[in-house]
């Protein structure tokens, strides 16, 4: 989808940094709300990069290493990566209230903007230029997702075995249109098990 | 009627929420399968437009689910969808976050984590492919989709550039009467 979703970003941010996670800051739910409000608002075309920038560089809530570790956990969990970051970081600083504040902050402005955009689009979607623009934008938005997947596959240098799993997942969902849940329930454990076998050798 | 739609949204999104390893891209093909093919709530064209609009707005790309909720059931649909897609996965993240150090430092975790991207990236490619099949109606659309894919593969620029250029190219083509 948006090009910057995570696997690549986490690899880049993994540069070691001396200090350990002491969470020295007092971060209130209000801080969490405004911090993630910024992330949501500036996150045009993908949240991964801006999320690292705000959390590590600007607010200094975490160092690079701890952010990369947190992001790694969030990628392994279901849910949007940055939504998971907001949930876990919010809890670490402010418990349940912190989590709720961070996730609400992340969604608050983007939801309003998306509705305005959609409502605006509905008003003018009959205009020839707008129709033409959407006829170009929609294929491009789709193409970007394919390109991002290819870019991330290349960056990860997948083994033949791993590439095989990518292909099977693609064929099951894109060609056969299998439902996601059974496909995942079958493929994910198999792929994880195969990865364990591959690494043990 | 409206209540049954809301209930349907909740069940669909709560399930997909727990299956969304890798985030929104993993669930888009299934979203299309359910919303367009099974439930008939939207046409292919509306789905493609909704997807593109969600890409243009800032914020989590999971919001495509909020917009679908809004399209099929108004404000209630939006709220219900947003909560249903966030709550299950975030509850799980909340619990895992508290056990954080056990996972982050466990010996098996890096290998476990390395086992996810192959499947997740296959799903991501499928997501783009399925969306492209409903968004492309002519040769120009096909070229723009392919061009955007190449752009995303090779360039590190913000992906929104590709969408903007494609929209402009399409306007120019239609004004010149090419398409």
pLDDT in tens, B101-118: 777 778 888 899 899 999
Q: Is B74 on the interface with A (CB under 8 A)?
A: no
| CA atoms within 13 A of residue B14's CA, in its CB half-sphere | 11
Segments forming the whole domain that contains residue A94: 22-124
- Asked if residue A103 belongs to a domain, the reply is yes
The DSSP secondary-structure symbol of A54 reads I
- The residue extents of the domains of chain B are 3-110
pLDDT tens, position by position, B21-64: 989 999 999 999 999 999 999 999 999 999 999 988 999 999 99
Q: Whole-angstrom Cα distance, residue B179 to residue B171?
A: 10
* B38/A contact by beta carbon, under 8 A: no
Residues of chain A with C-beta less than 8 angstroms from the C-beta of B38: none
Which has the higher per-residue pLDDT, B102 or B128? Answer: B128
Mutate to test the interface with A, among B45, B58, B65, B71 (most CBs of A within 10 A): B58
| Tens digits of pLDDT across chain A (201 residues) | 444 444 444 444 444 444 444 555 689 999 999 999 999 999 887 898 899 999 999 999 999 988 988 998 898 899 999 999 999 999 999 999 999 999 999 999 999 999 999 999 999 999 999 999 999 999 999 999 999 999 989 998 999 999 999 999 999 999 999 999 999 999 999 999 999 999 887
Q: How many CA atoms lie within 13 A of B21 on its CB side?
A: 24
**Does residue A61 lie within any of the structural domains?**
yes
Residues of B in contact with A191 (CB under 8 A): 115-116, 118-119
**Assembly ipTM:** 0.90
For residue A119, tell me if it sits in a domain.
yes
Looking at the domain assignment, is residue A195 inside a domain?
A: no
Q: Which of A88, A142, A184 lies nearest to residue B128, judging by beta carbons?
A: A142
Domain count, chain A: 1
Please say whether the dihedral angle defined by the alpha carbons of residues A100, A103, A106 and A108, taken in this order, is positive or negative.
negative
**Tokens 């360039």 label which residue?**
B155
pTM: 0.86
């Amino acid at each position: 989808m948006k090009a910057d979703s995570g696997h690549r970003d986490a690899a880049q941010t993994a540069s070691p940094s001396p200090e350990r996670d002491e969470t020295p800051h007092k971060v209130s739910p209000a801080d969490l709300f405004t911090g993630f409000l910024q992330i949501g608002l500036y996150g045009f075309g993908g949240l991964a990069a801006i999320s690292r920038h705000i959390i590590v560089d600007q607010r200094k809530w975490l160092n690079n290493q701890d952010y990369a570790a947190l992001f790694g956990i969030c990628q392994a969990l279901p849910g949007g990566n940055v939504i998971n970051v907001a949930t876990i970081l919010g809890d670490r600083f402010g418990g349940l209230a912190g989590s709720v504040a961070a996730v609400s902050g992340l969604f608050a402005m983007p939801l309003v903007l998306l509705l305005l955009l959609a409502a605006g689009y509905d008003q003018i979607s009959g205009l020839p230029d707008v129709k033409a623009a959407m006829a170009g934008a929609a294929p491009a938005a789709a193409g970007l997702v394919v390109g991002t997947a290819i870019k991330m596959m290349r960056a990860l240098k997948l083994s033949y075995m791993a590439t095989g799993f990518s292909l099977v997942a693609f064929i099951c969902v894109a060609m056969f249109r299998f439902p996601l849940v059974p496909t995942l329930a079958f493929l994910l454990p198999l792929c994880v098990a195969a990865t364990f076998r591959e690494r043990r050798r | 009627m409206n209540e049954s739609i809301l209930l349907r949204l909740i069940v669909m999104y709560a399930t997909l929420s727990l299956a969304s390893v890798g985030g929104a891209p993993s669930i888009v093909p299934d979203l299309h399968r359910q919303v367009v093919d099974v439930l008939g709530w939207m046409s292919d064209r509306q789905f493609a437009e909704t997807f593109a609009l969600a890409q243009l707005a800032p914020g989590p790309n999971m919001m495509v689910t909020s917009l679908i909720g809004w399209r099929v059931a108004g404000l209630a649909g939006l709220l219900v969808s947003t909560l249903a897609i966030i709550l299950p996965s975030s509850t799980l993240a909340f619990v895992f976050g508290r056990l954080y150090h056990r996972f982050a430092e466990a010996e098996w975790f890096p290998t476990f984590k390395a086992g996810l991207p192959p499947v997740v990236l296959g799903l991501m490619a499928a997501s783009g492919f399925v969306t492209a099949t409903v968004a492309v109606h002519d040769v120009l659309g096909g070229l723009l989709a392919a061009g955007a894919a190449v752009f995303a593969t090779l360039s590190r620029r913000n992906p929104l550039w590709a969408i903007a250029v494609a929209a402009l190219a399409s306007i120019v083509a239609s004004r010149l009467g090419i398409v």
